[in-house]
Amino acid sequence: MKTMPHPVKACRLTQIREDDALAAGELLAAVWPRPDRGPVERAEQLKRVGRDYSGSSQQEPISYLIWEGNKLIAHAMTFCRVVGTSAGDLPIMALAMVASDPACRGQGLGAAVTHAAFARIDNGDFPFAMFQTSLSIQSFYERIGCQLVENRIVNSLSEDDPQANPFHDDIVMRYPAGGDWPTGDIDLRGRGY
């Protein structure tokens, strides 16, 4: 049985409605349960990203949402992150919080929100996207045009260990696979996302 594609709604986080933020918070808390981050805390995290943004509208943080009736079934978030490279500062698109309702998996929802997010690269808003994922999900991203980042990732602003990888997942990927990706260390200049 072929499923019909679901429309993806782009929500600028500087203007996200409370109901959209809370629905995203509920989905994220269900997919990645943590005792210290329930739906309200996850929703507040999204709203804080929007409140804290002060750059151009072209690189404004956005959540991508897929609704089925009144239930949010997929989400992805993008925001600008300026990283340090051997060639200087590079504004990249950070991809984070890609999630789909476990009851709806296999319908291409993750691919739909990720493709919507990557349109920002394809349209020239950013030169690259960079994000973390797990080994079990790596092949999903490779199928949609991503590539493993082999650069060492550091966080020069870390008080604990500036040379440690700030991402918690083992795999760091980028989109697109081609292009003029920098060589040498990538300084995330902050926590992983």
Three-state SS letters, 81-137: EEEEECCEEEEEEEEEEEEECHHHCCCCHHHHHHHHHHHHHHCCCCCCEEEEECHHH
pLDDT value of residue 153: 97
Asked if residue 3 is part of any domain, the answer here is no
Residue 181 lies in a domain: yes
In this prediction, residue 4 carries a pLDDT of 54
Tell the residue number behind the tokens 């507040």, with chain if given. 44
Residue 121 reports pLDDT greater than 90: yes
Q: Residue 1 falls within a domain, yes or no?
A: no
Q: How many domains does the chain have?
A: 1
Give the tens place of pLDDT for each residue, 93-103: 999 999 999 99
Predicted confidence (pLDDT) per residue in 2-47, tens digit: 455 789 999 999 999 999 999 999 999 999 999 999 999 999 999 9
In a domain, 192, yes or no: no
Q: What confidence tens digit (pLDDT) does each residue in 184-193 have?
A: 999 999 999 9
CATH number for the domain harbouring residue 127: 3.40.630.30
What pLDDT does 6 receive? 83
In which domain, by residue range, is 97 found?
Answer: 9-187
Report the C-alpha gap between 124 and 156 in whole angstroms: 28
Tens of pLDDT, residue by residue over 125-152, are: 999 999 999 999 999 999 999 999 999 9
Q: How many CB atoms lie within 10 A of CB 98?
A: 23
Asked whether the predicted pLDDT for residue 1 surpasses 50, the reply is no
Q: Is residue 127 part of a domain?
A: yes
Residue 138 lies in a domain: yes
Mean pLDDT value across the chain:
95
193 lies in some domain: no
Residue 140 burial (CB count, 10 A):
14
Query: Which whole number is the average pLDDT over 39-59?
Result: 96
Strands 153-154 vs 9-12: parallel, antiparallel or unpaired? unpaired
Question: Is the residue at 2 inside a domain?
Answer: no
CB-neighbour burial class of residue 58 (10 A; exposed 0-12, middle 13-18, buried 19+):
exposed
> Average pLDDT, stretch 78-88?
97
